[in-house]
Amino acid sequence: MMIAKKPIYYLTVIALVFSSFTAFAGGGETSSKGGQINTPEGIRGYIKHHLADSHDFALYSYTNDAGERKHVGFPLPVIVWTSKGLKTFMSSAFHHNDDGHVIVDKGDVKLVKIHSKIYELNEGATTVSFDESHHATNAHKVLDFSITKSVFGMLLAGLLMFLGFRSLARGYKKGAIPTGVGRVLEPLVLYVRDEIARPNIGEKHYRKFMGFLLTVFFFIWILNLLGLTPLGFNVTGQIAVTVCLALFTFIIVQFSGNKDYWKHIFWMPGVPVPMKIILAPIEVLGMFTKPFSLLIRLFANMTAGHFVVMSLIALMITLKNQFGAVGSTGISLALSLFISVIEILVAFLQAFIFTMLSSLFIGMAVEEHDHH
């Protein structure tokens, strides 16, 4: 029995939006009725919490009949380097309470989580002291190597890429036309090769960089799609992640640059000497502005997309007095559905733009010039 693809596509989007509605209504820390977020302050806090990274994986929260706040999810490993060495434990040790400052005693060191950051209490301290700006005065940060929610998302994306490309490789062993998941991946691989790598890098050098370009394209694309699910990933909206991705591009470009590339930066041929002295610092600055534009573009677009979707979902709460529960939910659903469909396109578009610009910068570095 054949089923039309478009209805399935739109039903999937609607299901994602409704799931987000449910998670939004049951999540967060501010509640005034049944644990639901129904105040502007609670909405802002929920959106801020959604955009930030976390040491545990919380799906949603609710308040039981006894008035106790319950969080549905699972803990993640906490790995920190303290003044007493390496300490490991599960994030469930920082269990939720009223003040949110649970002190974890690991024998010779005491640890506390403040604003999603882990601190080590000073020697002899048993409680956390704060100044007027609510900054801890008797604690200092530790080196945090924990498996956070974003790290878990990256590991999941890596696993999906490994399974997908292994399926594609096995499909090619059986015949010229892959089967299963490989049939979905093959057009995208060919698209990256023929529409991104070849035109920007050139026939002579593009094969050398295909591994990096395919990795960064599918890595960003999968993470962007995971961010649209009720799992609540916002990995590409973390500035640290986009910095690392842009840094990889920067390092590859600099180490792949030929003599013509460096000559056009420090001593441009065919340009008067006074102009060379003026342009050289500008070209050097351009070396760093290129990766900076990569990381800011990806970070800003994905963060803005999550913020807009969550804000539109919040309309069902903020407009309830003006339009009623049914009217506000209908308006919120229509706008959120529209933005969610656009976000699916943006998820692919941002992966394409990052990969395309990376290949363009690499192509500029390996291009060979014929000077007459």
pLDDT digits (tens, 9 = 90+) for 4-14: 444 544 445 54
Considering the chain, what percentage of its residues have pLDDT values greater than 70? Answer: 78
Q: Buried b / exposed e across 43-74, counting CB within 10 Å, b at 16+? A: beebbeebbebbbbbbebbbeeeeeeeeeebe
Q: 344 near 13, Cβ under 8 Å?
A: yes
- What does pLDDT average to over the chain? 78
pLDDT at 325: 59
Q: What is the mean pLDDT of residues 158-186?
A: 83
Q: Average pLDDT in the 19-48 region?
A: 55
Contact between residue 37 and residue 25 where contact means Cβ atoms under 8 Å apart: yes
Is pLDDT at 158 greater than 80 in this prediction? yes
pLDDT at 328: 61
Reported for 133-139, long-range contacts at CB under 8 A and 24+ positions apart, including other chains, are: 136/112, 139/112, 139/114
Tell me which range, 53-57, 135-139, 254-258, 301-305, is most confidently predicted by mean pLDDT. 254-258
Note if the pTM is more than 0.85: no
**From CA 264, how far away is CA 270, in angstroms rounded?**
10
Structure tokens at 19: 């799931």
Which residue carries 């062993």 as its tokens? Answer: 173
The CA distance from 42 to 268, in Å, is: 57
3 state SS of 190: helix
Angle, CA of 261, 252 and 51, to the nearest 5°? 125
Q: For residue 131, give the 3-state DSSP assignment.
A: coil
Helix orientation angle between 320-366 and 206-226, rounded to the nearest 10 degrees: 170
Q: How many CB atoms lie within 10 A of CB 196?
A: 22
pLDDT at 319: 67
List of residues 6+ apart from 184 with CB closer than 8 A:
none
The order of strands in the sheet holding 110-114 is 103-105, 110-114, 117-121, 139-141
pLDDT at 10: 47
- In the structure, what pLDDT confidence band is assigned to residue 216 with cuts at 50, 70 and 90? very high
Q: Note the pLDDT of residue 360.
A: 92
For residue 202, pLDDT over 90 is answered with: no
Nearest CA among 112, 55, 111 for reference residue 83: 111
Q: Are strands 85-90 and 77-82 parallel, antiparallel or unpaired?
A: antiparallel
Name the CA radius of gyration of the chain, rounded. Answer: 25
pLDDT for 365 beyond 80: yes
The residue-averaged pLDDT of 317-326 equals 63
**222 vs 195: CA distance, rounded Å:** 20
Q: How many angstroms separate the CA atoms of 69 and 83, rounded?
A: 34
Residue range 96-144, pLDDT digits in tens: 544 457 788 887 888 888 877 888 888 877 778 777 777 777 788 888 8
Contact 112, 118 (CB under 8 A): yes
Q: How many of the other CB atoms lie within 10 Å of CB of 187?
A: 9
Mean per-residue pLDDT for 273-294? 85
Q: What's residue 37's pLDDT?
A: 61
pLDDT recorded at residue 354: 94
- Kind of pairing, strands 56-63 and 69-75? antiparallel
Instruction: Count the Cβ atoms, other than its own, within 10 Å of residue 197.
Output: 28
Is the pLDDT assigned to residue 3 strictly greater than 70? no
Percentage of the chain lying above the pLDDT 90 cut: 19
What's the pLDDT score for residue 257? 84
- What's the confidence (pLDDT) of residue 107? 78
User: Which of the residue ranges 27-41, 135-149, 208-222, 290-304 would you say has the lowest mean pLDDT?
Assistant: 27-41
Q: Which residue has the higher pLDDT, 278 or 191?
A: 191
Given a cut of 70, whether residue 78 has pLDDT beyond it is: yes
Mean pLDDT comparison of 263-267, 289-293, 328-332, highest-scoring range: 289-293
Please, which residues bridge with residue 233 across strands?
A: none
Q: Which residues contact 4 (CB under 8 A, 6 or more apart)?
A: none
- Contact indicator for 50, 232 with CB cutoff of 8 Å: yes
Q: Which helix (H) or strand (E) holds 118?
A: strand 117-121
Residue of higher predicted confidence among 67 and 3: 67
pLDDT for position 21: 47
